[in-house]
Amino acid sequence: MNNEFGTIEMSSDVISTVVGGATTEIFGIVGMASRKHVRDGINEILNRDNYSRGVVVRQEDDGIAVDVYIVVSYGTKITEVSKNVQERVRYQLEHDLGIVAASVNVFVQGVRVQNDI
């Protein structure tokens, strides 16, 4: 980004942390999943330090494209949860970082039963 004071550059890890934080606050999300679930293990839910393994950020002509890999809670409507992720990620990127997301793609890597104990 350029402004009157100079240039601002943000790493993909910064964007991934904002995206992961926004995603994990949504009802129906168990957590972030690794985009390479075969290698990393499908059962692993990523913690805050590893959000970059569950988010892919690509630069495009009309903004950035974000791929988000999630695990949803059993019994939730997956399409509704995915739509909420898209809306929340777009909002957080614009609000927190001033970045316009050209697309937010959601990949559901698993469904997990939550035990309410």
Q: How far is CA 61 from CA 65, 79, 88, 116, in A?
A: 10, 28, 22, 45
Structural domains of the chain, with CATH: 12-112 (3.30.70.1350)
Evaluated on CA atoms 68, 84, 13, 66, the torsion sign reads positive
Q: What pTM value is reported for the model?
A: 0.84
> What distance in Å separates the CA atoms of residue 95 and residue 85, rounded to the nearest whole number?
15
> Which pLDDT tens digit goes with each residue over 72-104?
999 999 999 999 999 999 999 999 998 899 999
In single-letter form, the type of residue at position 45 comes to: I
> Which pLDDT tens digit goes with each residue over 31-83?
888 877 545 444 566 666 677 788 999 988 888 999 999 999 999 999 999 99
